[in-house]
Amino acid sequence: MNKLASVVLAAVLLIPAAPASAQEKESAAQAKAQELGQKILSDYGVSGLQYAIRDQGKITMSGGFGVSDKAAGAPVTQDTMFGIGSISKMHVSAATMMLAEDKIIDIDKPLITYLPQFKMADERYKQITPRMLMNHSSGLYGSHYGNSILLDDSDTRNHDELLTRLQSEQLKSDPGEYSVYCNDGFQLLELMIEQVTGSSYTEFLDQHMNGPLQLSSTKTPLNTFDRQKLAKTYFPAFKQALPAENANILGAGGLYSTAEDLTTFAEMLNGKHPDILSEASAEAMQQPEYRKGLWVPEETNTFNYGLGWDAVSLAPFSDYGIKALSKGGDTIMYHTALVTLPESDISIAVLSSGGSSIYNSIFASNVLLAYLKDTGRIDKIRPEATFTAPVKAAMPAELQSYSGLYGTIGSTTEVTLKNGELSLPELEGGLVPAQKYVYTGKGQFKSPDGSAIVSFDQLKNGKTYLKLNVHLQLPGLGQMLMVTYEYQKLDANPLDATVKQAWTKRDGKSYYALDEKINSSFYLSPSILTKTIAVDQGYASGTRIVDQNTAVNAAEIPVMNGRDAFDLTFSKQNGAEYLTIDGNDYISGDAVKPVYAGHASVTTIPASGQGIWYKIGKTAAGRTMKVTAPDGAGFAVYDDKGTIVNYSVVTKDRSTVLPQGGMIVFGGQAGDVFKLELK
């Protein structure tokens, strides 16, 4: 949507913090909400945004920006529902604490006490407790994403298969050693709740939480409700709205809600509904669980885990002496932030279609600070941090020992400290650009603008970490302070000649996912479904090479960057090489055949139900492919850069001009037949 259309279609409902006449000047908080809401809409890829502030039981501000449906021009209202992503973790954490209050479980007893079906190949799994699942310290690899986020499909296979997939897997650390973000832990809590209560998780929420709190707009994909209330989602390649997004990982990220519902839910998390969740349980969830294991030394941060909470002492509120709790949430298309001040029982929730939870979190913090000033809770708002260009200092010779190969999940990088300088690639998903850092003293290297500081920590686990302390600056929105360990220094891993040769052949090769349903949101961004192997000094895409066909996770990084770990296992079948990750198969690009360039051809989904990939060769490029397929089957076409050109699940268009060097994937049920015509 262009900027003018965003402004014209924006619909804003603002309820003042105190009784006011129609002529009264808008408050600073209202003005800040207007400013940031319009900026996010115009510059940050958001089609619709909703927020609400609840102050001691009453909604005092509530607003919407943009549209819930572009075609209809329908504005976002307080009743528009959004996916809330990982804020759903707070629901399953609260449910777990409710069961503990009723003495049905003990959060410090092994999970297998309550979920005996849970087994892993690593015997340490027997030490994992529900507490460790809530504070991210279980040692689980992280996330099984396969078939988790589907378009207009509430298939429960991800939920149903998790325990089976975990049976053959290892842990990446001792349970309780450190906390690093982990989705699977909350899926296991969901399964535990179902096991001990004998009801589905959706039923449990409706009966014990949503019903008593009167959260009429808080649902799971398995609920029956008016789906026209969901804000529609959009992808840049397509004009039309996407089918409804279902995050079928309910405990980790599958709920829908509204801003007003979420602020009511936050009241419960603040201990204000003791008949549902006791004050003692609410307070226990707010404790600094992150301190129990390895962690960055800085206390002022965006991340400091409690039970479920991303932060139990959120910056910048901690600078004001105010305890603030926060949780962010992202699916593929929905993004959410929840910030609550338990001591004053004030909460703000921000939900959007498009964008990022980071944008919503900055909106939440800045509007809430303005609201606190408007209502006399703080005297003034502190200015944002400012920075100056670094002044280079002489680097002590002993720091040279930090040079070497470093790794994180999915990648490695060579860190060379030379003449008091080091260069790093993009960090934080590109929010911190690739740049050179210069030594300024006290073990610190600073970015050219001074906003990012890199240093090295050696922790008691014997690992050396590259630490980033950065004030992210998002133009027109504001700052966010993040302190994380970005990389871990890797041990030398020399390979014998045979093993080295096997992996050298794979270097730079891509492998394509076969097991994802064709209506998965992941097809919108094929980078999720494509694994390109990068081999570097005995490591492959961040994993440590063990033998000719196996590489295992090497990263043990607290906070965030050690999340979603994986192993690599290669095998051959009928002359084709396959890669298996988390039990899902990928086929080597070398084994992908060109699509038949004749007038007509047929392709059939095999008995395994796996998808079929084709390359677009020179003879097929530029021609129009027309596809006839059964209902429920579909295909996606990508250009040579991996950008999606057509996705029949969204466009319903069965004809596509084929781009040279691109790829096609077909998916459906076993036995589905696709008839292709090229003109």
DSSP character at residue 180 = B
Q: Which residue has the tokens 């703080």?
A: 378
Q: What is the pLDDT of residue 24?
A: 60
Looking at residue 535, what is its pLDDT? 98
Closest CA to 277 of 265, 268, 288: 268
Segments of the chain with pLDDT less than 50: 1-23
| Beta carbons within 8 Å of 433's beta carbon, 6+ residues apart | 426
Residue 125 CA to residue 141 CA, distance in Å, equals 12
If we measure between CA atoms, which residue out of 427, 87, 137, 138 comes closest to residue 251?
Answer: 87
- Written as six digits, the tokens of 215 are 């959260």
What's the rounded Cα separation, in Å, for the pair 180 and 564?
9
Residue with tokens 């005995």: 538
What SS3 string covers 95-159? HHHHHHHCCCCCCCCCHHHCCCCCCCCCHHHHHCCHHHHHCCCCCCCCCCCCCCEEECCCCCHHH
Residue type, 537: Q
Complete edge-to-edge strand list for the sheet that includes strand 655-657? 600-604, 673-678, 624-628, 655-657
What global pTM score does this model have? 0.94
Sheet containing strand 634-638, edge to edge, reads 593-594, 612-615, 663-667, 634-638, 644-647
Nearest to 279 by CA among 197, 345, 207, 203: 345
Helix (H) or strand (E) holding 371: helix 357-374
Q: Please tell me the distance from the alpha carbon of residue 446 to that of residue 439, in angstroms, as a whole number.
A: 7
Beta bridge pairs of residue 674 = 603
Helix residue spans in 416-463 (DSSP H)? none
Closest to 667 measured CA to CA, from 511, 527, 529, 510:
529
542 exposure class (CB count in 10 Å sphere: 0-12, 13-18, 19+): buried
β 593-594/612-615 pair status: parallel
User: Can you name the residues that pair with 421 across neighbouring β-strands?
Assistant: 418, 438
CB 464 within 8 A of CB 481: no
State how far the Cα of 91 lies from the Cα of 142, in Å rounded to an integer: 19
* Residue appearing with tokens 């030594």: 439
- Nearest-Å Rg of the Cα atoms of the chain is 25
Name the residue with tokens 């909604």.
59
Per DSSP, the chain holds a count of helices (H) and strands (E) of 14, 36
User: What is the pLDDT at residue 5?
Assistant: 32
3-state DSSP call for residue 54? Answer: strand
Angle between helices 157-166 and 184-197 (to 10 degrees): 100
Residue 434 CB neighbours (<10 A): 10
Tell me the two tokens of residue 176.
């309780």
Contacts of 550 (CB under 8 A, 6+ apart): 567, 568, 569, 570
Indicate the burial class of 496 (C-beta count within 10 angstroms; 0-12, 13-18, 19 or more): exposed
How far is the C-alpha of 203 from the C-alpha of 210, rounded, in Å? Answer: 10
User: In the chain, what is the straight-line distance between the N-terminal and C-terminal CA atoms, in Å?
Assistant: 34
- Kindly report the number of other CB atoms within 10 A of residue 418's CB atom: 10
* pLDDT at site 526: 75
CA distances from 481 to 135, 363, 458, 468, 666 (A): 21, 14, 22, 10, 43
- Does residue 635 sit in helix, strand or coil? strand
Would you state the structure tokens that stand for residue 253, as one six-digit string?
């990220």
pLDDT one-digit tens code per residue, 363-397: 999 999 999 999 999 999 999 999 999 999 999 99
